[in-house]
Every structure is written in structure tokens, then in C-alpha cells.
Amino acid sequence: MRTAIGSIIILSGLVLGVSVQGQGQPVQDPPPPPARGRAQAPPQNLQVLPKDMTRQQLTPLMRSIAGALGVECTHCHVSMQNQAADDKPTKLVARKMIQMTMAINTEFLKEIGEPAAAGAQKVTCFTCHRGALKPLTAPAAGGSEF
């Protein structure tokens, strides 16, 4: 019995020794992904949004707008390397729409209903667009919209 136990201990030691032998080098973490050149650059050409907005604040906002309209970033931006360019008419429309939602939230709804939670808005792009580029509207009843 002692011989069997001794053999198991020796065999276990050999297995352990073989498995550890290949681990002479410490395991290193993989290198971080290369930094994206424009990812750290401050936003440029902010005309409607606050000029001191950081990229960390701007990126989620832009993603929420794109999602609310069901579009990709290049719908408004010429390229992701030149996000500041104003070459696309859709970017100019987007600025007008941002101004509109800001006015609705700050002026028109300020005394209606409960105030929005801190950092939130009552009306966003999604309120009307619901994931579609052009918001659907109900047909006018009786020929009048109001």
C-alpha cells in the first residue's frame, strides 16, 4: 500500500514538474491596442454644442443620435478622419435638429410636467425618429394638423 502511495506521489511530482517546466517565462499581458490618432484629440468645429465638450462626452451623444435615426456616423460626417468638415448637408440639418431639441427642452417644456432628471432631456432625437431617418407622422384628420 505504501508503495502504491509513494508511486502516486512520485508520478504526481513528475506530471507537475513537466507542466511547470514550459512556464519558465512569466506570462505577460498582451500589449494594449494601438491608440487611435483622433480618439484623443479634442472635438473641433462645435457650433451648437458647448465648445468645451470633451470627446468622452461627445462620443456617446453622437452615438445616441445615430442610433435614434438608424444611421451610421458617415450619414453626417464626410469621414471619421475628418469629423469637423461641414461638407454634408445632413450635418447642417443635424445641427438645426439639435438646436430644436435644446429649445424644446429648455424653453418650451421647462414649466410643463415634471422636470427631467439631472443630465437627462425630456425630448431627444428618438422621441420623433424612433430609429428611422424620417419620422413617421400620422395623417391629418379632417384636413387640419391641429
Hey, where are the domains in the chain? Answer: 55-129
On the CB side of 140, CA atoms within 13 Å amount to 5
Name 80's Cβ contacts closer than 8 Å, sequence gap at least 6. 38, 73, 74
> What radius of gyration do the chain's Cα atoms show?
29
* pLDDT for the residue 142: 66
Q: Which residue has the cell 479634442?
A: 42
Its pTM surpasses 0.75: no
Residues of the chain with pLDDT under 50: 1-34, 37-38
Q: Cα dihedral sign for 80, 85, 89, 90?
A: positive
